[in-house]
């Protein structure tokens, strides 16, 4: 088990280093932030002065080494635009993003899993096809459209929910649903496929022969054995949720990391953009590592495979 952990942990570290390097160079390739920080009327001298004051006039490799050293100390630097420490900015946005991701994941899991299960158990029947239609509709609606539609219906027309912003639990409902819909569809389809796969196995026939009802069959046999693909998907979905949050947060004026990303990219706020991208990468790497470890707990074959 220890070797398995070290192996996976080492891979995660290499991935993290790669991400840090890529983020640094891609951002520098994409343009000079100083032109955007100054008014159009700024002269070349003004631009040079600004570049010097931000340290952008140094050689690229010096900036890169400096950046690596900073990362090693977990120093994310200061935002040129907001005039504040990047850690403070990120930490002020993180709680909202976590709330939103949790809300969306709850929507996706609590609705998507049962729907998938029902579809599997009723496969071939009209109910199953209807649910599949609904799931496909959820998956096909772009969030910027479904978000605005929800705002118009529930915020402006019915006035049940606040139109935008944060504050109460009611504020969380629409953004969570908008963000969760896509994952909901994924969960429903993956669960259906996994359960259908399990249903054809011998142990299910034996259990039925022993007289197990559908409820017992699902609880004791099917769910546990269908878990591997669902765990895999959860790891992927968490990173998906972070990416999807960019649009949802913009539509609902939800002050999370997604909105921060959009604003910082528009303002060429290098420091913040690279911090957010790194955070996203680390979350993805972390989630995958956690999924690997979870597999090995749920299904010992994974662990044994790693040894050989």
Q: Considering only residues 174 through 203, tell me which ones interact with another protein, judged by CB under 8 A.
A: none
Neighbours of 257 (CB within 10 A): 27
- When the beta carbons of 148 and 279 are compared against another protein, the nearer one is 148
Q: Does 151 bind another protein (CB under 8 A)?
A: yes
Q: Does 24 bind another protein (CB under 8 A)?
A: no
Q: Does 63 bind another protein (CB under 8 A)?
A: no
- When the beta carbons of 120 and 247 are compared against another protein, the nearer one is 247
Q: Does 255 bind another protein (CB under 8 A)?
A: yes
- When the beta carbons of 113 and 151 are compared against another protein, the nearer one is 151
Q: Does 32 bind another protein (CB under 8 A)?
A: yes
Q: Which of 22, 152, 170, 224 binds another protein (CB under 8 A)?
A: 152
The span from the CA of 223 to the CA of 236, in Å, is 20
- When the beta carbons of 113 and 260 are compared against another protein, the nearer one is 260
Q: Does 164 bind another protein (CB under 8 A)?
A: yes
Q: Does 148 bind another protein (CB under 8 A)?
A: yes
Query: For another protein, what does the binding mask look like between residues 74 and 113, x meaning CB under 8 A?
Result: -------xxxx---xx--xx--x-----------------
The span from the CA of 271 to the CA of 122, in Å, is 52
- Give the nearest distance from C-beta 271 to another protein in angstroms: 13
Which span (197-205, 208-216, 236-244, 261-269) binds another protein, by CB under 8 A? 261-269
Number of residues that bind another protein (CB under 8 A): 50
Q: Considering only residues 208 through 247, tell me which ones interact with another protein, judged by CB under 8 A.
A: none
- Give the nearest distance from C-beta 251 to another protein in angstroms: 5
Q: Does 139 bind another protein (CB under 8 A)?
A: no
3-state DSSP of the chain: CHHHHHHHHHHHHHHHHHHHHHHHHHHHHCCCCHHHHCCCCCCHHHHHHHHHHHCCCCCHHHHHHHHHHHHHCCCCCECCCCCCEHHHHHHHHHHHHHHHHHHHHHHHHHHHHHHHHHHHHCCCCHHHHHHHHHHHHHHHCCHHHHHHHHHHHHHHHCCCCCCCCCCCHHHHHHHHHHHHHHHHHHHHHHHHHHHHHHHCCHHHHHHHHCCCCHHHHHHHHHHHHCHHHHHHHHHHHHHHHHHHHHHHHHHCCCCCHHHHHHHHHHCCCHHHHHHHHHHHHHHHHHHHHHHHHHHHHHCHHHHHHHHC
Place of tokens 């080492």: 10
Q: Does 18 bind another protein (CB under 8 A)?
A: no
Name the residues that contact another protein, by CB under 8 A.
30-33, 35-44, 46, 49-50, 53, 81-84, 88-89, 92-93, 96, 144, 148, 151-152, 155-156, 159, 162-166, 250-253, 255, 259-260, 262-263, 267-268
């Amino acid at each position: 088990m220890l070797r398995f952990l070290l192996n996976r942990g080492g891979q995660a570290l290499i991935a993290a280093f790669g991400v840090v390097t890529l983020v640094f160079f891609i951002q520098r390739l994409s343009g000079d932030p100083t032109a955007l920080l100054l008014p159009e009327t700024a002269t070349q001298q003004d631009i040079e002065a600004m570049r010097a004051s931000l340290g952008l006039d140094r050689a690229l490799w010096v900036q890169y080494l400096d950046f690596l050293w900073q990362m090693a100390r977990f120093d994310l630097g200061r935002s040129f635009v907001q005039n504040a420490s990047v850690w403070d900015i990120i930490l002020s946005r993180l709680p909202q993003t976590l709330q939103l991701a949790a809300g969306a994941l709850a929507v996706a899991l609590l609705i998507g899993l049962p729907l998938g299960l029902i579809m599997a158990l009723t496969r071939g029947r009209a109910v199953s096809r209807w649910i599949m239609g609904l799931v496909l509709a959820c998956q096909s609606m772009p969030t910027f459209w479904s978000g605005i539609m929800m705002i118009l219906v529930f915020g402006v027309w019915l006035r049940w929910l606040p139109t935008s912003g944060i504050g109460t639990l009611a504020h969380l409902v629409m953004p969570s649903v908008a963000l969760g819909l896509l994952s909901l569809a994924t969960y429903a389809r993956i669960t259906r496929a996994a359960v259908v796969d399990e249903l054809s196995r011998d142990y299910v026939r034996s259990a039925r022969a022993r007289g197990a009802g559908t409820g017992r069959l699902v609880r004791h046999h099917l769910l546990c054995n269908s878990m591997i693909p669902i765990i895999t998907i959860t790891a992927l979905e968490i990173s998906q949720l972070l990416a999807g949050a960019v649009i949802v947060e913009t539509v609902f004026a939800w002050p999370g990391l997604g909105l921060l990303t959009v604003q910082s990219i528009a303002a060429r706020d290098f420091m913040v953009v690279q911090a957010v991208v790194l955070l996203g990468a680390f979350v993805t790497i972390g989630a995958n590592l956690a999924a690997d470890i979870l597999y090995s707990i749920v299904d010992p074959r994974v662990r044994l495979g790693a040894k050989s």
